[in-house]
């Protein structure tokens, strides 16, 4: 066994916090620095060492590395564009110590478009062969709907061109902006374009302009739900089982929905086999407890609007519309861990400016 493997074979303390991770990293950073600088067995001697430690912390971290300059290694931590994991990458990097010879970056940064050129399956993706245009919708005026046109796009190479274009945009816009600024993205062949094509290098300025307009229109918009009543809705599913929902139907008529563009759906599974898909008393009380904890953390006055809940077929769904995705991500992750031994809970956070996810609750 060589010295490197012997060094890592010692039993190490488990990673429970950002501080634990960085303490561990600091004990090995000189070895890691040499591996990356010499570009020698990076996957085996760096990636395979750091990955398990990041997974101990949370199984959502990815990373890239390389030399930032002759004397500095850059470690870029990324969430691969997953909205509800972005905040944890940001928090981890914020907690990083200052280590000579290292630069830690949260999320893949934007790269000047002149430096972005992707090669994939004999196709090239650069500023010369990618274009875009914006689609406007009168009923959804704040929606940012972009169509991408690649010169070589055809019915035969759709998967490759779409995948390569996504990688190009991720590099050009940066991970955070690519994940959060475009609401809807489609692709078409050049001859199918319904508008004049705009060079892709103008996309960033277009998105900045649209975001500025959006902020000016909706900044400071708040909605208080405390005094409102919730409507009880009942239905019978195709299999004959009941569905019960408690929904703030007044809120669904609000004309400033886009000010809270992030929809959060919490899904909690329980055993309703003997209750026609409904929770028994113990599960009902546990569901009520969890919902109360969420409401205590995510207040309407702070930009987190409780839409309501739906119960059917052994599942309780809880709905929120939020003006931010970061706090809901951390709140739900903590609750998920807290109740892991009692009940199965999952959650999703995604952009839905006009709350179309809840159209089924409106007449």
The reply to whether 138 falls in a domain is yes
The reply to whether 224 falls in a domain is no
Q: Is the dihedral of CA 56, 57, 62, 64 positive or negative?
A: negative
**Domain identity same for 339 and 284:** yes
Domain end (from 160, 183, 214):
214
Distance CA 123, CA 128 (A): 13
**Domain identity same for 242 and 347:** yes
**What is the pLDDT confidence band of residue 12, given thresholds at 50, 70 and 90?**
confident
What average pLDDT is seen over the chain?
94
CATH number assigned to the domain comprising residue 346? 3.30.70.100
| Residue with more model confidence, 8 or 293 | 293
Domain end (from 69, 86, 106):
106
CA angle (11 as vertex; 7, 15 as ends), nearest 5: 105
**Domain identity same for 15 and 127:** no
Rounded mean pLDDT, 224-233 = 77
Q: Which domain holds residue 159?
A: 113-214
**Domain identity same for 102 and 123:** no
The reply to whether 220 falls in a domain is no
**What is the pLDDT confidence band of residue 228, given thresholds at 50, 70 and 90?**
low
**Domain identity same for 101 and 155:** no
**Domain identity same for 240 and 343:** yes
Least confident of 48-62, 123-137, 221-235, 243-257: 221-235
Q: Give this prediction's pTM.
A: 0.91
Residues 6+ apart with CB under 8 A from 329: 83, 84, 85, 86, 87, 88, 349
Number of domains in the chain: 3
**Domain identity same for 180 and 274:** no
**What is the pLDDT confidence band of residue 4, given thresholds at 50, 70 and 90?**
very low
* 337 DSSP 8-state letter: H
Rounded mean pLDDT, 203-229 = 85
**Domain identity same for 241 and 282:** yes
**Is residue 9 scored above 70 in pLDDT?**
no
**Domain identity same for 326 and 238:** yes
| Residue with more model confidence, 222 or 342 | 342
**What is the pLDDT confidence band of residue 229, given thresholds at 50, 70 and 90?**
confident
**Is residue 223 scored above 60 in pLDDT?**
yes
Q: Which residue in 134, 72, 132, 126 sits closest to 103, CA to CA?
A: 72
The SS3 of residue 300 is helix
pLDDT in the model for residue 10: 59
């Amino acid at each position: 066994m060589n010295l490197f493997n012997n060094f890592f074979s010692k039993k190490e303390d488990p990673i429970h916090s950002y501080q634990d991770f960085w303490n561990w990293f600091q004990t090995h950073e000189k070895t890691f620095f040499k591996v990356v600088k010499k570009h020698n067995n990076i996957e085996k001697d760096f990636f395979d060492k750091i990955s398990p430690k990041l997974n101990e912390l949370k199984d959502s971290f990815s990373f890239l590395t390389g030399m930032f300059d002759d004397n500095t290694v850059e470690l870029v931590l990324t969430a691969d564009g997953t909205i509800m994991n972005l905040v944890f990458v940001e928090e981890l990097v914020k907690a990083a110590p200052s280590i000579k010879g290292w630069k830690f970056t949260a999320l893949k940064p934007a790269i000047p478009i002149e430096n972005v050129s992707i090669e994939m399956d004999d196709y090239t993706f650069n500023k010369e062969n990618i274009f875009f245009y914006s689609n406007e919708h009168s009923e959804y005026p704040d929606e940012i709907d972009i169509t991408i046109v690649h010169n070589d796009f055809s019915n035969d190479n759709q998967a490759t061109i779409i995948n390569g274009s996504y990688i190009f945009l991720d590099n050009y816009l940066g991970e955070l902006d690519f994940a959060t600024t475009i609401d809807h993205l489609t692709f078409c062949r050049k001859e199918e374009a319904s508008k004049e094509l705009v060079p892709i290098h103008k996309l960033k300025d277009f998105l900045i302009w649209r975001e500025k307009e959006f902020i000016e229109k909706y900044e400071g918009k708040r909605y208080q739900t405390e005094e409102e009543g919730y409507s009880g809705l009942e239905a019978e599913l195709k299999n004959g089982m009941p569905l019960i929902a408690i929904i703030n139907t007044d809120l669904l008529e609000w004309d400033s929905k886009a000010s809270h563009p992030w929809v959060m759906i919490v899904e909690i599974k329980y055993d309703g086999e003997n209750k026609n898909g409904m929770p028994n008393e113990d599960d009902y009380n546990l569901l009520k407890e969890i919902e109360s904890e969420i409401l205590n953390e995510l207040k309407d006055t702070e930009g987190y609007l409780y839409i309501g809940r739906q119960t059917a077929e052994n599942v309780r769904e809880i709905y929120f519309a939020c003006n931010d995705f970061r706090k809901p991500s951390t709140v739900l992750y903590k609750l998920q861990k807290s109740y892991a031994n009692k009940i199965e809970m999952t959650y999703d956070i995604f952009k839905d400016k006009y709350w179309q996810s809840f159209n089924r609750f409106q007449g």
